[in-house]
Every structure is written in structure tokens, then in C-alpha cells.
A and B are shown apart, each in its own frame.
Chain A
């Protein structure tokens, strides 16, 4: 069952392997995403200055040849901090979206195949969860258990499980009504077999597209929480936290305030562009 997540990654990264064609806009989106992933992995090797070190005499310095994105409220190099911040934003969001989609899709398929009271109870409960606004949910959990990276990952994934569940269940219910499922049932196959070999292969395309959209939501929520000071805690800083700590530079129009926001926007808009321009074959398979 680890298959879902491993397939997820390899498909996203090498979409052309299966013979699909991307258009130009989709390719641009994909390249920006890949760039940020590479930066997240190799950040410590490419940052021009150590992240914690005060290197500029001026605080909220402007963009210059030495400091490409200016300096922050203590005079630390902004470019280095953003490059390192990619690790937290991309890493936490990727972990959370993997957990959320894996659990949501599994539960959705189980509910669709099993039906009956299990389906009703699960659907009702998860619907109720999804009627708590996501930011509020985050606030309440952080208030209760405090903020650490594992707690953040779990909270973010719990918040987005209901959405993934509802999406996967709707798709799986359609597949479940098909003849080959009835045949498989008559053959006496187990629920596990039905889920793994009959349903999953037929919903994997749209589920991957959904995963991308959910990734955007998670990045935005994580940034929002960090901006409120409830997400990633110092000394670490993701992009939302970088905006928060430099918000004092806003009246001077310091680049330190807007640069991390642009980093977030470049990532989320790229994912949206990629999803919108996915080949029809992947996106609309079971609509």
C-alpha cells in the first residue's frame, strides 16, 4: 500500500515517462516546482551566507550586489534565509499532503467498497470535521498542544483528510458500480484486493491532480499559521515566518517583506498552472 505514495512522486516528477505531453505553460509550472524541490534538497550547499549570521551592517537593507534580496530585520542575508526556508515550506507541506491524501484516499475507497453503516458514519464524521474552518482548526490545535514540526505536519494532514476522502469516495463510488467490480465480487475477491487492484488503478490520475491542489491549500495554510506566529518556530523559519519576522519593514518597503511572499506565490501558482494544464488523459479519466 506504500505504492500510492511512491507512485505519486514518480508520476509528478517524470510525467512524460508515460507518454503524456505537457504544453508550454504546464512545463513552466513543472520546472518552477522542480527548481524549488532541488533548492529545498541542496539549500545548505548553495546559500551565499550562513542563515543565522548577521552579515549586513544595515537592517532591512535594499537589494544589492552582495545581498540579492536585501537583508532582514537583524541584517541577515534574505536570499539565504529564503533558500533555507524552502526546506520547511516544501518539506512540511509535502509530508502533510502525502499523509492526508494517502489516508483520505484509503478511507474513501474503503467506504465506497464497504458501503453500509461504515460509509455513513465515516462520511458524516469527516463532513463535520471539514465544517471547522481550516485556519481555526490549526489555531485550536496549536493552542492545545503547542507548535512543533511533527505536530504541524499531523495537524495539516488531519485538516485535509476530509477533502481527500470526499473526492476519492465520489470517484470510487462510480467505479464501484461498474460491471468488472461485480464480477470480481462474484469471484470472491477480498475488499483489500478490490481496493488495490480494481479501484485504485482507475482513480489514480484524478487523485494525483487532487493531491496537487491540496498541496497548494496546505502551503497556504502553513504560511498563514507561520505568519500568525503559530507555525514553524524560531530559530527555524519557513516563508510565512519570514514574512512575520520582517513585517516591521513594511512601511519602508523593504524587499525582506515581499520576497518570501513571492516565493510562496511562485510555488503555489506553478502547481496550479501544472494541474490546469495536465494532459486530459490524466485529469479527466473518470469524470
Chain B
């Protein structure tokens, strides 16, 4: 590790930080665009003007937007996420347990999809042009070009309606045994695994093919190395960086996926919480959920970039 790598990594982290500030700015101002006065909405039509005025003062609604933004950011940094409009509970309490549920779902999905996707992606690249490779390519393009809810509804139709192996809906709070756990997680995980794997297979395949096209791999071929040896000894170690990069990038698609999957399967996660909050226009809750999602997304893409920098042998 030398100074150049260090400075590249640091500048990437700085960019991520600046991005986070811009993103939080965007999230805050998008949600304050709401037509109508928050105090009036909270107190209802029958409220006296004095009560509305009092609440406006208490909530600092008369301050310029930039001060409210700063107050909100400082609150976030101190772990104060605000109070939900809908049920007066602290947002942090609402989010806590559900956040863990979502993380569990994402973790289990990653556990399944990463090995599957890497195997399929690498083997497809090794056997490029074969029937197997074409089948994998067609399948991944198919999965990528349909909406997530179609994959979810198809999974329900196949596994719950026709084969009757699994329940159609999932509730994570009624777990009594290991088989229960399997049945509850199965459907959301199957759906998400399909969505994530398709992206990951495509990117892994592209990364390996790019390495296979390099002169040193041709050299290995010319000196008579066997095909597995070319792939595992010569190509794969160099493709590792791009592959890990691809994995991190594909995992960021989980965020889009969980929103649909949690809604369709009634999974008590943070995405479902946010969709419900949008329906009730519960702004503090929406803001906090949005920030958590953006932070997760940013972490993953920054990690992907940093891995790409660290694994580049030219910088070592």
C-alpha cells in the first residue's frame, strides 16, 4: 500500500461524504415541498389559530428552511430521528426492530445469491458461446427486464399455489421452529435471490470475460496450459477485484428489491414501514427511512469503488 492508493481511497471517501450531504439536502427539501401547513394538518381543521401558532413555534416551522435542515441533520447525528406524525412514537423506536428484520432478509439473500451467482457467472464466462452460456445469458436478461413484482407473483404461483410447498404470506413474528423459519423466509429470499443474482451473474461474467481477453491469458493458452488452469491460475486472481466490485454493486439492487418484496409478502421490514409512511404522509418517518436507505446504498457503492481501487495491481 502506498500513498497514491491511500489518497485515492481518501478522496473516494470524501466524495461519498459530500454526496451524503447533497442527498440529505435533497431528501429534506423534497419532503418539505409538501403543500399545506404541517401544523394545520397535525391539529386538524377544527384547531384554533392560537393552537396552530403555538405548535408552529414548538416545531420551529417559522424558521428559515436552512435552519430546520441544520437542526434535522444535527438531530440525526445525535441519534434523534424525530417523532412520527401518525402515532406520536419516536421514529427510532418504530425503525429499530424492523431495521433488523430487513437486515436479516438482506443477509440471508446475500448468503444464497452470492455463491450461486458467482458459480453461474464464472462458468458461463469459461464456456463462452456454448449452449449453457446462452441459456444463462437469456435467463438473466429475462429476469432483469421484468419488474420485481412479476418474479414475486410467479414465485407465489409456482411454490404456493401449484406446488403448495410454502405459505403465500410471511410474518416474522410467529417463529416457533426451524421449519417455520425456513417457510417464512423462503418466498422473499427466493424472489430477491433471483433479482440480485441476475445482475451479479451478468457483471461477473463480463468481468471474467474481460480478463480472459488479456494478452497474458493468450500467452498461457499458447504455452499449452489447460483450460481450468488458465481460468483458475491466470485469469481468476486478476478478475477478483472486478468480481468483488460486481458483488457489492449488485447488492445495492437489494434496496429496490426489498421495497417490492416486503410489500408483496407483508414482511415487517423497514421498506414496508416506509411505504406505509408514504400512504399516511408521515414525514419524519419517511425522511429517516430514506436516509437509512441512501446511507446503505452509498456504503455499498463506495465499498465497490474502494475495492476496485485496492485490487488494481497497477496502483500497488
CA distance A142 to B27 in the complex (A): 12
B119 in the interface (beta carbon within 8 A): no
Residue of B nearest to A139 (CB): B278
A268 proximity list for chain B (CB < 8 A): 145-146
CA distance A144 to B34 in the complex (A): 5
Interface-facing stretch out of A176-184, A186-194, A224-232: A224-232
Residue of A nearest to B157 (CB): A253
The one of A124, A135, A144 that contacts B33, using a Cβ cutoff of 8 Å: A144
B5 in the interface (beta carbon within 8 A): no
* Interchain CB contact under 8 A, A251 and B161: yes
A243 in the interface (beta carbon within 8 A): yes
Residue among B260, B278, B290, B301 with max Cβ neighbours from chain A (10 Å): B278
The one of A224, A272, A276 that contacts B149, using a Cβ cutoff of 8 Å: A224
Per-residue CB contact flags for chain B residues 7-36 toward chain A (1 = under 8 Å, else 0) read 000000001001100110011001111110
Interface residues on A, range: 35 or more
* Interchain CB contact under 8 A, B145 and A144: no
Interface-facing stretch out of B39-47, B72-80, B279-287: B279-287
If the complex has contacts A129-B26, A223-B147, are A124 and B18 also in contact, measured as CB distance less than 8 A? yes
* Interchain CB contact under 8 A, B256 and A272: no
If the complex has contacts A135-B256, A261-B153, are A128 and B147 also in contact, measured as CB distance less than 8 A? no
The smallest beta-carbon distance between B269 and chain A, in angstroms, is: 14
A134 in the interface (beta carbon within 8 A): yes
A234 in the interface (beta carbon within 8 A): no
A144 proximity list for chain B (CB < 8 A): 30-34
* Interchain CB contact under 8 A, B148 and A224: yes
Residue among A124, A136, A143, A253 with max Cβ neighbours from chain B (10 Å): A143
The smallest beta-carbon distance between A79 and chain B, in angstroms, is: 19
B94 proximity list for chain A (CB < 8 A): none
Interface residues of B in 254-304 (CB under 8 A from A): 255-256, 259-260, 263-264, 274-275, 277-279, 281, 283, 286, 290, 293-294, 297-298, 301
B156 in the interface (beta carbon within 8 A): yes
B49 in the interface (beta carbon within 8 A): no
A229 proximity list for chain B (CB < 8 A): 279
If the complex has contacts A228-B260, A253-B162, are A265 and B149 also in contact, measured as CB distance less than 8 A? no
If the complex has contacts A144-B34, A268-B145, are A131 and B260 also in contact, measured as CB distance less than 8 A? no
B293 proximity list for chain A (CB < 8 A): 133, 136
B264 proximity list for chain A (CB < 8 A): 247
B150 proximity list for chain A (CB < 8 A): 243, 258, 261, 264-265
Per-residue CB contact flags for chain A residues 118-141 toward chain B (1 = under 8 Å, else 0) read 000000110111011111100111
Residue of B nearest to A129 (CB): B26
* Interchain CB contact under 8 A, B23 and A128: yes
A145 in the interface (beta carbon within 8 A): yes
Main secondary structure of the interface of A (DSSP, over half): helix
* Interchain CB contact under 8 A, B147 and A258: no
CA distance A230 to B263 in the complex (A): 12
A272 proximity list for chain B (CB < 8 A): 141, 145
A175 in the interface (beta carbon within 8 A): no
* Interchain CB contact under 8 A, A133 and B297: yes
CA distance A216 to B143 in the complex (A): 13
Residue of A nearest to B27 (CB): A140
The smallest beta-carbon distance between A55 and chain B, in angstroms, is: 25
B142 in the interface (beta carbon within 8 A): yes
Interface residues of B in 144-183 (CB under 8 A from A): 145-150, 153-154, 156-157, 160-162, 168
* Interchain CB contact under 8 A, A258 and B153: yes
If the complex has contacts A251-B161, A258-B153, are A133 and B145 also in contact, measured as CB distance less than 8 A? no
B294 proximity list for chain A (CB < 8 A): 131-133, 136
B256 proximity list for chain A (CB < 8 A): 133-136, 224
CA distance A227 to B259 in the complex (A): 11
Per-residue CB contact flags for chain A residues 188-230 toward chain B (1 = under 8 Å, else 0) read 0000000000000000000000000000100010011001111
B252 in the interface (beta carbon within 8 A): yes
A250 in the interface (beta carbon within 8 A): yes
The smallest beta-carbon distance between A36 and chain B, in angstroms, is: 14
B297 proximity list for chain A (CB < 8 A): 131-133
* Interchain CB contact under 8 A, A132 and B275: no
B22 proximity list for chain A (CB < 8 A): 124-125, 128-129
The one of A125, A145, A224, A250 that contacts B157, using a Cβ cutoff of 8 Å: A250
Residue of A nearest to B282 (CB): A143
Residue among A134, A135, A223, A272 with max Cβ neighbours from chain B (10 Å): A135
Known pairs A132-B297, A136-B259, A251-B168; list 8 more (Cβ under 8 Å): A133-B252, A133-B294, A134-B256, A139-B259, A144-B33, A224-B256, A227-B263, A247-B264
The contact sample of 22 A-B pairs, CB cut-off 8 A, is: A127-B19, A129-B26, A132-B23, A132-B27, A132-B294, A133-B255, A134-B256, A136-B256, A136-B293, A139-B275, A140-B31, A140-B286, A216-B145, A220-B145, A220-B147, A251-B160, A253-B161, A261-B146, A264-B146, A265-B145, A268-B145, A269-B142
Q: Which residues of B contact A (CB under 8 A)?
A: 15, 18-19, 22-23, 26-27, 30-35, 141-142, 145-150, 153-154, 156-157, 160-162, 168, 252, 255-256, 259-260, 263-264, 274-275, 277-279, 281, 283, 286, 290, 293-294, 297-298, 301
In order of increasing CB-CB distance, the 5 nearest A-B pairs are A128-B22, A261-B150, A268-B145, A143-B278, A128-B19
